[in-house]
Each structure stands twice: as structure tokens, then as C-alpha cells.
Amino acid sequence: MSQSVAPVLEARQISKRFPGVVALDGVSIALLPGEVHALVGENGAGKSTLIKVFTGVHRPDGGELIYNGSPVAFGTPLDAQRAGISTIYQEVNLVPMMSVARNLMLGREPRGRLGVIDTARMYGEAERILAGYGVVTDVRRPLRTLGMGVQQMVALARAVAIDARVVIMDEPTSSLEPREVETLFSVIRKLRDDGIAVVYVSHRLDELYEVCDRVTVLRDGRVAHTGPLAELERLKLIALMLGRDLDEVRTGGLTRFSRDRRHARERDGAAPAVRAEGLTRRQVLRGVDVAVWPGEVVGLGGLLGAGRSETAKGIVGALPLDAGRVLVGGLPLRTGSTTAAIRAGVSLLPEDRKAEGIIPALSVRENIALAALPSLSRAGVVSDAKIDKVVEVFMRRLRIKAASPHQPVQELSGGNQQKVLLARWLAIRPKILLLDEPTRGIDVGAKAEVQALVDELAEEGLGVLLISSDLEELVEGADRILVLREGAVVGELSGDDVTEDKIMASIAERGAESDG
């Protein structure tokens, strides 16, 4: 990795403006063959914009791109792809209604006689490719019937399968479990050994240190630092991202605040806020029992497809159940009805925000206030002042970076869109809050703030069910953890047993029996 190697792809003094913001301001970055280059920065720092400039989605307002030693300007993502730049964009960009195989092979389907697509071969190849990523599924099923993690693996397989010289990954692991992340890393290492330049964007710092060679830190559209990653201490990296002093970060509580786990306190005698009994759904859930007491944060651990999201969906009635019941405050809830759940005070922040949550064309303010409207209005009349207040508080506390509360959400960076949705759910103040991947795509600074907010809500007596593929977040956020495997609870950890190692062990231990 000597610096004398000529870069494959280079940006020189790139600028890009959007109405009201300068997203990139004279950014220069060089990608060397055979390196994994981390691109980091807070939400809205300009990472995705830089990537989209590289791949012809956005035209830069200034500066130039050099590819293989000569200036280029890609007109469309297709041009960039043809030239050998393969990209996984931040939002999983596949076609939900098309089958897994057709998504994977779109644009390079195997041809048979007469140039017609050879479907048998296409399905076979798709199965083979995905098996290489540890994904075993019926490739004829529509993509949307699979979980976000599997979809992300399909997007990954698709990008890597294209013969590329540069592979760009914008938060490829946001929906992945540790095991899938390992698979991804081995893929990345192989790419690197093949002399391909890899750009890796992630808000999970551990991952960066594990797989990246160099790092470029973006802050407010400018390069704040670039250099070898190993030499850069973790706190220093955070300080660079946030633009604060190292000392300030060290003492400023941004690092882990340790919380006292509530040892099932006040539990005796009290009824759980929500209790799910024997949730069953063919091939997905096999009799899951979950209970959350008021003031408690319960984490759900497990691998992809273990049934965590499905458990949450089952509780709020978004997944039809074959058997089982849900009790809220001791009273049975009509199953299969999300309206009944919401009325009873149970809300779910869904995993697939794009399909089930965000309303892109509405403003930040409207998106936040949407679900909380009933509680912010009296006799059907909405109080503008109250809404303004709520929106202001969340925008400040979650550090939502927007030109104004009236900016359409679709113009926000990926992480800031996530924050808006999170704010919407936190603003409802239900009795029970189910959070499925609440901090996906959210930067380190805001993550701590999200934890603090959830904690505050729990203090006020809210019951929280937390699902996260980030073990660190589970361990820090939850009082108690239930480990799921293949649709059943296989372990419970509480008190001092709540550690990453113990969770991993619990997942693996049971796994050894059924999974070779």
C-alpha cells in the first residue's frame, strides 16, 4: 500500500451545492488499488453525495474526477458501472416486487438460445452466488418478502458480482448481523487482495478498524483528515468527525455512559406492560413468549431470520398469527389489527423505514408530527405551537441536520431521515414502544443521544422492546435480553450476564445443535 501507487479513482477539489446547503466544498480524495478506504463523518457530512458524484448520479459544481489517470465525467450510474465502478447505495436500491434472482441478475441475465433469458440457469446461478454469501432462500420469491438483511446481502452480491475496479459501499452493514458482517469482510478482503479499491462507509467504528486501511474524515462537506487508520485512535477519530477537541470528547460523556440495569425492580406483583404468549406463525415464529414490564428495556438478540422483527410485528398485529395472544396491561389485544394495538398504546418503529415509514415529499416537521397528532391536538384541532415545540426539541436533541423544519425529508441525508422517523416514534409517547433497529445509519454522536432519550422514556415508565443488530447497542441499552433462534426464545440474559460475549455464546450454543 505504498503511496507511490497511482490512484484508480481520484476526486480533485470537488464541490456540490444543493439549494440551501453546500454538501461538498473542495473535497479531494484518492483511492488506491488494493486498499479499503473508510469514508466517515457525521450524518449529513457529505459522504453519500461524494459517492453519487463519483458514480454519475450528481454532476459536481466544481472540481474534477480522474479515473485511471484521465479526467472523466460519468453521465449516469450505468456509465460508471460500465467503466468498472460498482456501488451499493445507502438505501437498498433493488426492486421489491421482482424476484430475488431477477434483482440479482438484472442487466446481466444469462442468455440461452435466440438471446432469450435462460431462466433455469438464471435461478441456478442466483442460488449459487447467494449461497456463497451464506444466504439460502428461494430465489423466485419476490424480494420484498425477505428481511432487510437478506436484501442487503442481495445488493452486496449484485455489486460484487459486477466486474469492477472500484467497489463503493455506502453503509452496507446497517441491517446485517455479526455473522453476515463477517461474510462481508471476507468478501472485502478478497476484493482488496485482487487489487480492487474499496470505499467503505459506516457509522460502526469497530468495523472500520477491522477492515479498513486508510480513512478520510468528512466534516460539513470538507475533508477534515485523511491518512492510515491504524495510527488513529478511536477517540481521535470521533473528535475529528465531530470537530471537537480530543479532551472534550474524552470527558464530554459522548463515550459510553454506563447505566444501571434495572434488576427487574418493581416487578413483583406488577403486571407487565405487554405480554405476548406463544406467538406462532408458520415457518417464522414457533411460540415466542415475551414480557416487558413498565420502565424496562428488553433487548431481542439473535441472527438474521431468527424472528426478532417478526415478534415485534406479531405484537402490534402487523403479522398475521396462527396462534398466540398479546396482553396489554393484562387485557387481551385483538390480534392482527394494528389499529387496536395503537389504540392500546403499543407502537412499532418498523425495520423497513422506506416502505413502511417515511413520507419523502412531506417536510421534516410533518413527518415528525404525523403520528403524534392525536396527542398534540384537542377536539381535533391541532396546536401549531405544541407541534413546533416537539419538532424543535427533537431536531435539536437528535441533531437533525436540515435547512429548516420545512425541508422535504427526501432531501435529507440517509441518517437524518432515520432520525426524523425515530423522532416520530419517540414523540408519540405510547405505553409500549417497539424499536426495530432504531439507530440504523445514525452517527456516533447522535447514537448516544438516542440511547439517552430511550432511557428517559423508560424512566417515565414506558416499556421498550429493542431490536438491534449492533450487539454493543443491545448490551448498553437493554436491562434484559432475550435470545431468539429460528422463531423461538432460546435464552434469557439479565444483570451482569448482559455482555456481548454471553449473547454471542447463547446464539452459538443453541446453534451448534441444529445448524451445522
Ligand X SMILES: Nc1ncnc2c1ncn2[C@@H]1O[C@H](COP(=O)(O)OP(=O)(O)OP(=O)(O)O)[C@@H](O)[C@H]1O
Candidate list 11, 25, 30, 48; residue touching ligand X; CB under 6 A: 48
Query: Distance (Å, rounded) from C-alpha 369 to C-alpha 352?
Result: 20
C-beta of 407: minimal distance to another protein in Å? 19
Q: Measured at CB, which residue is nearest to ligand X? A: 415
C-beta of 487: minimal distance to another protein in Å? 10
Q: Which is nearer to ligand X, 41 or 345 (CB)?
A: 41
Query: Distance (Å, rounded) from C-alpha 215 to C-alpha 228?
Result: 6
HSE, CB side, 13 Å, CA atoms: give it for residue 202.
Answer: 25
User: Binding-site residue total for ligand X (CB under 6 A)?
Assistant: 20
Is 97 one of the binding residues for another protein (CB under 8 A)? Answer: yes
Is 407 one of the binding residues for Mg ion (CB under 5 A)? Answer: no
HSE, CB side, 13 Å, CA atoms: give it for residue 75.
Answer: 0
Is 174 one of the binding residues for ligand X (CB under 6 A)? Answer: no
Q: Which is nearer to Mg ion, 220 or 455 (CB)?
A: 220
Q: Which is nearer to another protein, 221 or 305 (CB)?
A: 305
Q: Is 371 exposed, middle or buried (0-12, 13-18, 19+ CB in 10 A)?
A: middle
Query: Distance (Å, rounded) from C-alpha 84 to C-alpha 81?
Result: 5
Q: 468 contacts which partner out of another protein, ligand X, Mg ion, none, CB within 5 to 8 A by kind?
A: none
Name the one range near another protein by CB under 8 A: 16-24, 135-143, 232-240, 444-452: 135-143
Name the one range near Mg ion by CB under 5 A: 124-132, 191-199, 406-414, 443-451: 406-414
Q: Choose among 461, 456, 453: nearest CA to 271.
A: 461
Interacting residues of 331 by C-beta distance below 8 A, sequence separation 6+: 344
Please answer whether residues 364 and 409 qualify as being in contact, where contact means their C-beta atoms are separated by less than 8 angstroms.
yes
Q: Which is nearer to ligand X, 23 or 187 (CB)?
A: 23
Q: Which is nearer to Mg ion, 308 or 353 (CB)?
A: 353
Is 107 one of the binding residues for another protein (CB under 8 A)? Answer: yes
Q: Which is nearer to ligand X, 226 or 338 (CB)?
A: 226
Is 89 one of the binding residues for another protein (CB under 8 A)? Answer: yes
E-strand ranges in 19-97 read: 21-31, 36-40, 62-67, 70-72, 85-88
Interacting residues of 179 by C-beta distance below 8 A, sequence separation 6+: 134, 303, 304
Query: Distance (Å, rounded) from C-alpha 182 to C-alpha 190?
Result: 12
C-beta of 439: minimal distance to ligand X in Å? 12
| Site pattern 7..26 for ligand X (x: CB under 6 A) | -----------x--x-x---
**Cell numbers representing residue 398 in the block:** 437528535
- Secondary structure string (H, E, C) spanning 312-323: HHHHHCCCCCCE
User: 3-class SS at 352?
Assistant: coil
Binders in 308-347 for another protein, by CB under 8 A: 309-310, 318-320
Candidate list 401, 424, 480, 510; residue touching ligand X; CB under 6 A: 401
Query: Distance (Å, rounded) from C-alpha 481 to C-alpha 23?
Result: 40
| Site pattern 136..175 for another protein (x: CB under 8 A) | -xx--xx-xxxx--x-------x-----------------
Is 75 one of the binding residues for another protein (CB under 8 A)? Answer: no
Please answer whether residues 32 and 197 qualify as being in contact, where contact means their C-beta atoms are separated by less than 8 angstroms.
yes
Is 90 one of the binding residues for Mg ion (CB under 5 A)? Answer: yes
Is 102 one of the binding residues for another protein (CB under 8 A)? Answer: yes
Candidate list 319, 387, 390, 412; residue touching ligand X; CB under 6 A: 412
**Cell numbers representing residue 350 in the block:** 418498523
Binders in 31-70 for another protein, by CB under 8 A: 57
Q: Choose among 153, 197, 264, 214: nearest CA to 31.
A: 197
Amino acid at 459: E
HSE, CB side, 13 Å, CA atoms: give it for residue 93.
Answer: 11
Is 414 one of the binding residues for Mg ion (CB under 5 A)? Answer: yes
Is 438 one of the binding residues for ligand X (CB under 6 A)? Answer: no
| Site pattern 364..403 for another protein (x: CB under 8 A) | ----------------------------------------
Amino acid at 135: V
C-alpha of 373 from chain center: 27
Q: 95 contacts which partner out of ligand X, another protein, Mg ion, none, CB within 5 to 8 A by kind?
A: another protein
Please answer whether residues 215 and 237 qualify as being in contact, where contact means their C-beta atoms are separated by less than 8 angstroms.
yes
Is 96 one of the binding residues for another protein (CB under 8 A)? Answer: yes
134 backbone φψ class: left, alpha, beta (φ>0; ψ -120 to 50): left
Is 307 one of the binding residues for Mg ion (CB under 5 A)? Answer: no
Candidate list 35, 43, 204, 212; residue touching ligand X; CB under 6 A: 43
C-alpha of 424 from chain center: 17
Is 100 one of the binding residues for another protein (CB under 8 A)? Answer: no
Beta carbons within 10 angstroms of residue 404's beta carbon: 10
Q: Which is nearer to ligand X, 127 or 411 (CB)?
A: 411
Q: Output b/e per residue, 196-235; b: 16+ Cβ within 10 A.
A: bbbbbbbbbbebbeebbbbbbbbbbbbbbbbeebeebeee
Candidate list 103, 175, 347, 413; residue touching ligand X; CB under 6 A: 413
Q: Return the residue matching grid coordinates 418493581.
A: 266
Is 480 one of the binding residues for ligand X (CB under 6 A)? Answer: no
Query: Which residue ranges make up the site for Mg ion (CB under 5 A)?
Result: 47-48, 90, 413-414
Query: Which residue ranges make up the site for ligand X (CB under 6 A)?
Result: 18, 21, 23, 41, 43-49, 90, 401, 411-416, 443
Query: Which residue ranges make up the site for another protein (CB under 8 A)?
Result: 57, 76-78, 81-82, 87, 89, 93-98, 102, 106-107, 109, 115-117, 119, 137-138, 141-142, 144-147, 150, 158, 281-284, 304-305, 309-310, 318-320
